[in-house]
Structure 1
């Protein structure tokens, strides 16, 4: 199942994420995901595992053109020249000549000129054919609007926290207004499991559980199907082979309109991840190694 981005590029709707996957297990996990059928792999400079993602893709024997590689530049490499070099670092670690989708990982709101400079570098990379599509991550509507005022290319993707307990309808509406694809990180609400109340996890939610039982599916499969039917991309992660396979097995059932609405109704408005406006170089800056 593919989605067409606003620049005409096709991308798999369901991908495989490697956030917080240690480098020494990333290669094996990505290899298993590719074996199962995933063709979109999402990583980031800040994850420290781009090299292992590239290794897994090469070892898979799958033609490079068949794998959609998505990565993100970290705030420490913002500014025009630094972002151009950050692309070289990422491509070198991944072992590729081009990157399919390159995102800015966070908005640096305290120094937005650097954010604008970095995005203009992405525009240059796009024009030069070194990336096929560009986008952003964790950009709230007002920040997105500010970026659009100072740049020329509308982002193809905005990757943000979206799951049944935090749907960010305002972000999704702003994305849709500009034909930007909303891509969900923590799409199954795994981040809710860290909130200190295991019983308040999306995986244990009675509504999701009831829907899953009705379809003879897992709660995870129901949540991923919810994303796909509502037009979002999703990038679940796992290091467990059985779950990697199960998360990909979501294309042969369909949720009803009522079931989608019931899941929509679970939104709490409570963010699980950090507030994007709180991301600063002082608190979150880190050097991204050359190799």
Structure 2
């Protein structure tokens, strides 16, 4: 028997944990080659580089996946509800990274400007909630972030999108998974796998499970017999094999994002 073939869901989790660790190491060491699309995008991306805009979500996705596999191994099982949150985050940010890398350089530059404008706009809202009397440099910092936000708006407008228009909306997290699914290779898991169905539906299931919604948790629930008052207790679980299925889907999106980033950095596919 092949020693690398997992016999149990926990063994699969262990192997996945090792694989994600290797991905993190490889991604951290990856070099952006001169003349690559990312280098060209960096030259026109201010005040935040394109490589930072895309690489940070990928690293976030890898960290969240490692949190899931590492904690499952540590606890020797799943944490109902809790593990759904980092998996959903991994799926979201990996999808966002793919969305940022779609199309040609002009489209990528526009999407990076849109995302960074949205990010800085939300950061300013956060800063506005902080008491100025406790942060003496707050006003100056807000002004700097406002200038950065405006520069991204100017960049987006030059590429054809007015992000300051009241009708403009940044794609939400679910929209990102839909977009990412269209960029996935259907052949990676066989002809029967449909990423346009699996990825968005997985995001909705993980969101519902993380919030304890009944429709998502029902398949893993066991209900006791009613007591004298007619009340019954419900035990909710998220089995390791079911968790690893979700992890595998999220990992597929992360690997797709890493591969695309490698190509844009001037390399061949990672795997």
Is TM (by shorter chain) over 0.5? no
Greater RCO, 1 or 2 (C-alpha within 8 Å, sep 6+): 2
**Which category of TM-score, normalised to the shorter sequence, fits these structures?**
under 0.3
Choose between structure 1 and 2: higher helix proportion.
2
**TM superposition score normalised by structure 2:** 0.24
**TM superposition score normalised by structure 1:** 0.23
Choose between structure 1 and 2: higher strand proportion.
1
